[in-house]
């Protein structure tokens, strides 16, 4: 059950009212989207061994160790390399990085929980992942939309590719 955190759409630079708006367009299109495929792949691997797809603790452990943690760690590292210029976009980015770090730490803390068969450690790991998910999916998303509105950023017309990406990476609407 992968959950993709990025609310990402393509933007036209001509539809932006100010310098921060231009930075937002660049931040999403060239910063966040450039590395988001790593996150998507990590969640795909995680979803393949959890929830309805769960089979054994060993399968979960191996997926975490060999796929999820390396992919998500690389995603977190590359995301940290994005360097916004304005205070507003830096704050937005800090929220995203903080949430991603919580998720990454949650994934990493699942390994010892599985090794020790410790339900309490596993609950702590799941709580970290959930807290990070809320931070990225809700708080970051809401801040991003508020900045779009404040700086006159509008979506580009939908194309076949942008509609597909929106379906992949918009948060679920339930």
Q: Which domains does the chain have, with CATH numbers?
A: 13-169 (1.20.1420)
Taking the C-alpha atoms of residue 147 and residue 66, their distance in angstroms, rounded to an integer, is: 37
Q: How big is the chain by its Cα radius of gyration, in Å? A: 17
State the 10-residue block means of pLDDT for the chain, 174 residues long.
40 62 91 94 97 97 98 97 96 97 98 98 97 94 92 72 46 42
Taking the C-alpha atoms of residue 81 and residue 28, their distance in angstroms, rounded to an integer, is: 14
Taking the C-alpha atoms of residue 64 and residue 113, their distance in angstroms, rounded to an integer, is: 12
According to the model, what pLDDT value does residue 152 have?
A: 86
According to the model, what pLDDT value does residue 159 have?
A: 64
According to the model, what pLDDT value does residue 153 have?
A: 85
Q: Which two tokens stand for residue 31?
A: 């910063």
Question: At a CB cut-off of 8 Å and minimum separation 6, what does 164 contact?
Answer: none
Asked whether 27 and 93 are in contact (CB, 8 A), the reply is yes
According to the model, what pLDDT value does residue 107 have?
A: 98
The whole-model pTM stands at: 0.82
């Amino acid at each position: 059950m992968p959950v993709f955190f990025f609310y990402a759409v393509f933007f036209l630079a001509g539809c932006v009212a100010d310098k921060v708006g231009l930075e937002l367009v660049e931040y999403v299109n060239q910063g966040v989207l450039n590395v988001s495929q790593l996150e998507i792949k990590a969640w795909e691997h995680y979803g393949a061994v959890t929830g309805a797809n769960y089979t054994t603790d060993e399968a979960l452990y191996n997926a975490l160790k060999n796929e999820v943690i390396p992919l998500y760690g690389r995603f977190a590292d590359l995301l940290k390399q994005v360097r916004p210029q304005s205070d507003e976009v830096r704050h937005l980015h800090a929220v995203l990085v903080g949430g991603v770090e919580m998720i990454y730490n949650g994934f990493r803390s699942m390994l010892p929980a599985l090794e020790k068969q410790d339900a309490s450690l596993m609950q702590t790991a799941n709580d970290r992942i959930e807290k990070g998910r809320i931070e990225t999916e809700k708080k970051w998303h809401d801040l991003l939309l508020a900045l779009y509105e404040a700086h006159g950023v509008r979506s580009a017309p939908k194309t076949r590719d942008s509609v597909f990406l929106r379906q992949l990476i918009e948060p679920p609407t339930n």
